[in-house]
Structure 1
Amino acid sequence: MSDSNPLIQMDTSLGEIILELNAAKAPISVANFIAYAKAGHYDGTIFHRVIKEFMIQGGGLTPDLAEKPLGEPIKNEATNKLRNKTGTIAMARTSEVDSAQAQFFINTADNKSLDHAGSKPEVYGYAVFGEVVDGMDVVYTIEQVATNAVEEHQDLPVETVTIEKVTVID
């Protein structure tokens, strides 16, 4: 590991995930994620969107589905040539290109359709900013949980999967 690639320990209710972030190719996304992590933002949030053979998403909602306070949206770094491949972590966003804040997702399949493919918002893509280096078994365990629809959340785990703590490993 180098200074440009910080390691992150994500303790979940189903086990530990270790991420290596790519600060060289996604400096804005990495700095943003680390700032939220160091502020304790992710601690106690949930994986609120889990879709088999696609991805697991979290980092913004509490177990009662309340949205945590957020900072300003960041620039989308999807043009960095990092691909949404199995095991990568990317910034979640709305249909607006530069709308990512705290939420992220971990790809559980190669999701080429999420890669940058042009300047139009619908094909701009989602910025990958790191990858799982240990704990993909935990990611796959989360991916397999039963889900249901609650209000606007279509793929919510029936049993809450909590992100207990996110730590930047020095």
Structure 2
Amino acid sequence: MKRRFGLLALLPLMLAPLAQADERVQLETSMGAIQIELYADKAPKTVANFLEYVNSGYYDGLIFHRVIPGFMIQGGGMDASMQPRANRAPIENESDNGLSNQRGTLAMARTRNPDSANSQFFINTVNNQRLDGMPGKPGYTVFGRVVSGMQVVDSIGNVETTTRGPFRDVPVTPVVIEKATLISMPQASESP
């Protein structure tokens, strides 16, 4: 009897990682809302990092500072004056998780160092498999996908851009992330 109780007591702990797959983040932007489903089961460190930034209000007031039509939109690091916001230490690359940089997926931006991603992310506006990891060559970690608001992503992806100082592909009119909020997915109801 004690053994059965012990297993039942552990059940919530064993199921905890699965619950994270039900989380979504809503980005309220100056051009509309984008809702993103997160894949904590495939990229646990990346999702945890992203959620820390979301829950702390870090992204609120930042912009999509790099927009390349037919490629992606990038945000999560600069304000409208193109000033970077201080971020936390970089995280380990998880691009070997089996997820591909397909249209509508969310991935981490990084430098040439595979383990340099911190707060900046991008949304693929087209299929970008060339950004995927392969044996011996880490890629860009996919950790979510847009489930609502892809028309907003496409609108952002088509804004007029310019060069501001050393930065290229900067929207002429700032596209602001007004608020990033963690929300939960509605649970599927069982049919009789």
Partner of 1:7: 24
Is the contact between residue 73 and residue 100 of structure 1 (CA under 8 Å) also seen in structure 2? Answer: yes
Asked if residue 94 in structure 1 is aligned to residue 122 in structure 2, the reply is no
Q: CA deviation at 1:155?
A: 0.4
- Aligned residue among 45, 48, 56 for 1:39: 56
Partner of 1:137: 151
Q: Please give the alpha-carbon distance, in whole angstroms, between the structure 2 residues aligned to 1:160 and 1:132.
A: 21
Which structure has greater helix proportion?
Answer: 2
Q: Please give the alpha-carbon distance, in whole angstroms, between the structure 2 residues aligned to 1:151 and 1:108.
A: 25
Q: Which runs of 4+ in 1 moved over 6 A?
A: none
Partner of 1:21: 38
Q: Identity over aligned residues, as a percent?
A: 49
Q: Please give the alpha-carbon distance, in whole angstroms, between the structure 2 residues aligned to 1:87 and 1:81.
A: 16
Partner of 2:173: 159
Equivalent pairs, count: 167
Q: Which amino acid aligns with 2:110?
A: R
Partner of 2:12: none
Q: CA deviation at 1:2?
A: 4.7
Instruction: In structure 1, list runs of 5 or more residues that go unmatched.
Output: none
Q: Which structure exhibits the higher relative contact order, with contacts defined as CA atoms closer than 8 Å and separated by 6 or more residues?
A: 1
Q: Looking at CA atoms only, which structure, 1 or 2, has the larger radius of gyration?
A: 2
Instruction: In structure 2, list runs of 5 or more residues that go unmatched.
Output: 1-17, 185-192
Q: TM-score, with normalisation over the residues of structure 2?
A: 0.85
Q: CA deviation at 1:151?
A: 1.4
Q: TM-score, with normalisation over the residues of structure 1?
A: 0.95
Residue 139 of structure 1 aligns to a residue whose secondary structure is helix
Is the contact between residue 20 and residue 41 of structure 2 (CA under 8 Å) also seen in structure 1? Answer: no
Partner of 1:125: 139
Residue 79 of structure 1 aligns to a residue whose secondary structure is coil
Q: Please give the alpha-carbon distance, in whole angstroms, between the structure 2 residues aligned to 1:5 and 1:99.
A: 27
Partner of 2:183: 169
Is the contact between residue 5 and residue 24 of structure 1 (CA under 8 Å) also seen in structure 2? Answer: no
Is the contact between residue 16 and residue 138 of structure 1 (CA under 8 Å) also seen in structure 2? Answer: yes
Please provide the CA RMSD for this pair. 1.2
Q: CA deviation at 1:23?
A: 0.3
Q: Please give the alpha-carbon distance, in whole angstroms, between the structure 2 residues aligned to 1:44 and 1:10.
A: 11
Is the contact between residue 35 and residue 147 of structure 2 (CA under 8 Å) also seen in structure 1? Answer: yes
